[in-house]
Structure 1
Amino acid sequence: METIIQTVEMQEISESYDIIKELGQGSYGRVLLAQDKLIGQPLAMKLVRKDQTHLETFLRELSFSVTLSNHPDIIRTYPIFIGKRDHYIMTQELAPAGTLHDIIRNQVGIPEDAVKRCAIQISCALDYMHRRGLVHRDLKTDNVLLMDKDCYYIKLSDFGLTQHVGTCVSAMSHIIPYMAPELCDLTDEEFLILSPSIDTWAFGVLLFVILTGYLPWFEALKTDALYQEYTDWKPCSDFTPLPVRWKILSREAMSMLGIFFAHCPCCRHPVHSVSSYVDVPWKTKISAHVSHMADEEEELEINVVDS
Structure 2
Amino acid sequence: MDAISDIYQVIETLGQGNFGMVLLAQDKITGEPVALKLVRKDRTQLKDFLRELGISIALSGCHGFITTYPMFYNTRDYYILPQELAPAGTLQDLIQAKVGMPEGVVKRCALQLSQALDYMHGIGLVHMDLKPDNVLLMDKEYFNIKLCDFGLSRKAGSFVSTRSHIIPYMSPELCDVKHDEYLILSPSVDTWALGVLLYFALTGYLPWMKAVEWDMDYLVFVHWQKHSNLILPPPSWQRFTREALAMFNKLLSRDCSARPSILCVLNFLHCPWNIHYLC
Place the TM-score, normalised by the shorter chain, in its bin: over 0.9
1:68 alignment partner, one of 59, 76, 80? 59
Q: 2:199 is matched by which residue type in structure 1?
A: F
- Residues 7-156 of structure 1: matches in 2 within 5 Å? 13-156=4-147
Query: What does residue 171 of structure 2 align with?
Result: 180
Question: 1:11 offset after TM fit, Å?
Answer: 7.2
Describe the SS at the equivalent of 1:285.
helix
2:15 counterpart SS class: strand
The structural deviation recorded for 1:241 is 1.6
SS at match of 1:45: strand
Aligned residues: 278
Question: In 2, Cα distance between the equivalents of 1:258 and 1:149?
Answer: 30
The one-letter code sitting in structure 2 at the alignment partner of 1:173 is S
Matches within 5 A, 1:252-263: 252-263=243-254
Q: Match for 2:209 among 218, 221, 238?
A: 218
| Two-structure CA RMSD over aligned residues (Å) | 1.6
Q: Which amino acid is the alignment partner of residue 126 of structure 1? A: L
Deviation at 1:148, TM superposition (A): 2.1
Cα distance in 2 for residues equivalent to 1:30 and 1:107 = 27
Q: Is the 8 A contact 1:103 1:149 kept in 2?
A: no
Number of the residue aligned with 2:190: 199
1:57 maps to a residue whose letter is: D
Partner of 1:290: none
Given that 2:3 and 2:75 are in contact with CA atoms closer than 8 Å, whether structure 1 keeps it comes out as no
Counterpart of 1:78, as a letter, is Y
Preserved contact between residue 212 and residue 248 of structure 1 (Cα < 8 Å): no
- Cα offsets for 1:44-100 (capped at 9, x unmatched): 001111111111111110110010112221111111110111111001000111111
Query: Which amino acid is 2:158 matched to?
Result: T
Q: Distance in 1 between matches of 2:88 and 2:277?
A: 30
Runs of 4+ more than 3 Å apart: none
- Percent of pairs identical after alignment? 53
Look up the SS of the partner of 2:5 in the other structure: helix
1:285 aligns with 2:276: yes
TM-score w.r.t. the length of structure 2 is 0.96
How far, CA to CA, are the matches of 1:40 and 1:82 in structure 2? 19
Q: 1-side partners of 2:147 and 2:84: how far apart?
A: 12
Q: Aligned equivalents of 1:94 and 1:269: distance in 2?
A: 33
Q: Which runs of 5+ in 2 are unaligned?
A: none
Q: Is the partner of 1:76 in helix, strand or coil?
A: coil
Q: Give the counterpart letter for 1:150 in structure 2.
A: E
Alpha carbons of structure 1 residues 271 and 148: separation in structure 2 relative to 1, 3 Å: same
Question: C-alpha separation between the residues in 2 aligned to 1:115 and 1:147?
Answer: 15
Where does the alignment leave 5 or more consecutive residues of structure 1 unmatched?
A: 1-9, 288-307
Distance 1:106 1:11, change over 3 A: closer
The alignment status of 1:249 with 2:205, answered yes or no, reads no
Of residues 153, 160, 166, the one that matches 2:151 is 160
Counterpart amino acid of residue 154 in structure 2: Q
In the superposition, relative to structure 1, how do residues 286 and 130 fare at CA in structure 2: closer, same or farther (>3 Å)?
closer
Deviation of residue 12 (structure 1)? 6.9
CA apart distance, 1:14: 2.8
Contact kept, 8 Å, 1:165 with 1:195, in 2: the verdict is yes
